[in-house]
Amino acid sequence: MMNEIYFIGGLALILVVLGIILSVLANLADNKADSAEKRIENLLPGINCGQCGYPGCQAYAKALSEGKAAANLCRPAGSDVAKQLAEITGSTKSADVDYEEQLFTPRLVAYIHENMCTGCGKCKRKCPVDAISGVLKQGHVVNPNECIGCDECIKACPEKCIELIRLEHNLSHFNWNIHSVQIKNGN
Ligand code: SF4
Ligand code: SF4
Ligand code: SF4
């Protein structure tokens, strides 16, 4: 009888230890996956503009960490970040994006038709780079030097008075800093 009790007790102990080992291994694997996704997310601008084709930076980071996406889809982050993302993920996938060419391609920026604007401020609250200025109940304007053409204000405007226009380059508003954007706002 005592032998049976020792045998069952020993077996239970072995199962408990095995369970602990398996759970530690599973946690280590999870943390590894998490940390890659987190590191990727930390490199992305966090403005959730959707230009990469994913609903936000987190979704793109997840797809990248799972090897499902090319590393150079985030235009606001630019080519330097794309290189770092490719290194982290070991990704050889590359979408057909030429960042140098973008320097010379006319940009699309938002333009507000002030005569239709009621000054509700919804566009301003949505702009991830704080490119829109104006006070409540007065016409708002977009600063084309700051605008990254993300479309968020257009979706937010109840009056439908914002459109994207082509901004031909000239010296006064050439986008010298296309490789990075300064995030000042966003929700
Ligand atoms: S394009 Fe870049 S900033 Fe915009 S949602 Fe995708 S990862 Fe985020
Ligand atoms: S298009 Fe995007 S970046 Fe440009 S003003 Fe609208 S919300 Fe801001
Ligand atoms: S959301 Fe439209 S109506 Fe409201 S402030 Fe912006 S441009 Fe004007």
Greater confidence, 71 or 21? 71
Q: Which residue minimizes the CA distance to atom 1 of ligand 2?
A: 149
Ligand 3 proximity of 141 Cβ (cutoff 6 Å) = no
Q: Are the C-beta atoms of residues 169 and 153 closer than 8 Å to each other? A: no
Please determine, looking at this structure, whether the domain spanning 106-167 carries the CATH number 3.40.47.10.
no
* C-alpha torsion angle, residues 24, 28, 33, 39 (rounded to 10): 130
The rounded Å distance from CA 174 to ligand 2 centre is 17
pLDDT at 179: 46
Tell me, which fold does domain 2-89 have in CATH? 3-methyladenine DNA Glycosylase II; Chain A, domain 3 (1.10.15)
Domain regions of the chain by residue span: 2-89, 106-167
Query: How confident is the model over 45-79, as pLDDT tens digits?
Result: 888 877 788 888 999 999 999 988 888 888 788 77
Query: How confident is the model over 79-103, as pLDDT tens digits?
Result: 788 888 988 888 766 655 555 555 5
